Amino acid sequence: MKTLSLTAAVALAAIAPATAALAQSNGVERMYILECGQGHTGDMSRWTPGKNVGVPMDIVDSCYLIKHAQGYFLWDTGVTDQTSPNPPPGDPAGITWRRPKTLAAQLTELGVKPDDIKYVAVSHTHPDHSGNVELFPKSMLLVQKAEYEWPNDGRPRFNPQHPVTKLEGDRDVFGDGSVTIISTPGHTPGHQSLLVKLPKTGAVLLTGDAVHFKANWEARGVPGGNVDKEKTVTSMAHMADLLVQNHAQLWINHDKPQREAQKMAPAFYD
Ligand SMILES: [Zn+2]
């Protein structure tokens, strides 16, 4: 018995410092929310099939910059910086985007140069998320293989010269569990979301377009334009599990009321 408990004590002593080291090795320092576009549509029923026909809606578009001890990580790149700050009204059934601030200007304000960004990951290849990928020609692009290779009328989804790591599922980006890409297909074939563990704020799950608004998260609504309804529902169930497991908050990229309650760069979450 005595030998056994001694063995157990030695084993525990070996585990304890390892656990402490793991907690300390979470290298995320802070996360900024960047203004990446503001949109208006005259008909929100594209996201809520059969409901809200002809109901106008304002949406936002967010990018997130994470400062990690190993380098900067940018999540989503928004509508292109070439978008007008005040465009004329477009097709009421579509979305008219404007860009009150460029991504480039916001990074400059933070003292971050494009080459300082070690990794760029986009949730998917719709233009309101991948519009500025080529502002970062040297940054390693982290994208699902299924998204990268998703047929696009014979045109590549990304510049073939851009350094890329094609993922097939989840990826612990820095190897310390602090920033994890989560495969959430359905909206597009290789859609992905991001789980970030901040030192004080705690865990945050960034949706990409796995969900568009709080209302369609709560109703588990699937927008008409999603490529796979069943996978969308499965991805949302997986996200709900992750929220519970990690005591995480859900930050919905396009949800305007939610973002209006959040701090925008240069303020940050740590
Ligand atoms: Zn989308």
Write a three-state SS string for 81-131.
CCCCCCCCCCCCCCEEEECCCCHHHHHHHCCCCHHHEEEEECCCCCHHHHC
- Taking every pair of Cα atoms in the chain, the longest distance, rounded to a whole number of angstroms, is 81
**Rg (the chain; Cα; Å):** 20
Q: Give me ligand 1 centre to Cα 130, in Å.
A: 10
Q: Which of 85-94, 149-158, 217-226 has the highest mean pLDDT?
A: 149-158
Sheet of strand 179-183, all strands in order from the earlier edge strand to the far edge: 171-172, 179-183, 192-198, 202-206, 249-251
Q: Coil, helix or strand for 53?
A: coil
Q: Give me ligand 1 centre to Cα 22, in Å.
A: 35
Q: Please compute the mean of the pLDDT values over residues 77-83 and round it to a whole number.
A: 97
Q: Give me ligand 1 centre to Cα 199, in Å.
A: 30
Is 70 exceeded by the pLDDT of residue 21? no
84 and 99 in contact (C-beta within 8 Å)? yes
Is 90 exceeded by the pLDDT of residue 88? no
CB atoms within 10 A of CB 169: 11
Q: Give me ligand 1 centre to Cα 181, in Å.
A: 17
In this predicted structure, what is the pLDDT of residue 4?
Answer: 46
CA distance 66 to 33: 9
Q: Give me ligand 1 centre to Cα 126, in Å.
A: 5
Specify the pTM.
0.89
Q: Give me ligand 1 centre to Cα 209, in Å.
A: 5
Is 50 exceeded by the pLDDT of residue 252? yes
Q: Give me ligand 1 centre to Cα 129, in Å.
A: 7
Q: Give me ligand 1 centre to Cα 250, in Å.
A: 17
